Structure 1
Amino acid sequence: MDKQQQLTAIYDFTASKLGNDQTGHDMAHIKRVVKMAKQLNQDNLGDPFIIEAAALLHDVIDEKLFTDITAAKASVKDFLTQIAVPAKTQTAIFDIISNMSFAHSLENRPTLSLEGQIVQDADWLDAIGAIGIARAIYYGAKHHEKLYDPAILPRENLTKEQYRNLADETIINHFYEKLFKIKDLLNTAAAKEIATQRQALMRSFVTAVKEEWV
């Protein structure tokens, strides 16, 4: 099995895990992250296989989506071994997908490889802009969050545990607690340039919601 065949198999594996997702972490999201990661790595300084594989797999061990993360990781490891991905490459992939989430950046942000920085940027860019707005509403509605409540202020200096507590969040506050922060946390110059326009769109949206609120 060559690398392209391995990537095709990895895509199918991810589709088997996320194909029915209803939180905005579906295969459309995965495809956009893969496409953006390739764009950010257009100079090919990062390993293309590791980047694409990590982009494909980054949500299959996400604690937002799966309750047994140990079992999820074991499933990925067994699969990658089955399709003959070398152990060193597996380690590089796991180092990325285990440490790239926004929640992990709240306390002692991990240092990522170049490939990890690229995949993280690609994933985080999909959380902002027009798609980001739609995904925030989609995810929040799935978890029965309020759209907005002026009496509930955005939370500051969140721990990972507090960030995961959706009972204390509104969809609009999520923009302040995460989405508006992403631009300044991105790793690559290319991603930061893309984020500037997307950030402006989100701020216009949030301002409009507040102006139109009853």
Structure 2
Amino acid sequence: MVEPFISCEYEPGKSKNGCSKCEERRHVITTKDLMDRYNIKTRQGIIQFVKKHLDEINHDGEEHATIQKGEWSFDTEAVRVLDQLRGLHDQATITELESEKVSNAQQESHNLRILLLKTQQDLNTAQQQVITLQQSLIAKQHELSEVKVKALEGQQNKNQAEALRGEVDRLKKEGQAIEEEQKQLQEKLSAAESERDSLRQQLIEKENQPWWKKLFA
């Protein structure tokens, strides 16, 4: 069980006639105290959490969480509310809550890795298709050059010349179709590369995310 902060034998709010020492210490719970209590490694982490729930902490109109000269201080009521928000009723609850959130974060990273792998596979396929089309285009251009040479050599034979001109036109159209397909594939390739880079960045951010951010997610 997580023990509550108690300044002395009186719990604040339980008796209006608590000792003066108790009243003086009602607002001396510091940000560092809360960092240690909740095992949060950064001041930014605990301050963000406090700001997010400030209305709940000061639910009764009293200022249970205050800031002076950039330093936050809290009374026992603030800690009680924060404990509830954090689910700190007993150690089993803490472990279960944090394990679930860490597990979810790990699953998200796993899903991103799978998606990244699939995107890379699609990218590799598209790159291979581009290479194949480039080879086909080179072959068509070579074939076209040979037909043009034959056409020039066969100009004296009218029938042969017409047949060769038809072959030239056919090869030109096939070459243009290959070029268009290659252009579309290059666009697909660029899109796949952008998606891959985006997924890589998401994965890096997810895996480098401080653990306390995963817990507050």
Query: Scaled by the length of structure 2, what TM-score is found?
Result: 0.20
Rg larger in structure: 2
Decide which structure has greater helix share: 2
Decide which structure has greater strand share: 2
Query: Scaled by the length of structure 1, what TM-score is found?
Result: 0.21
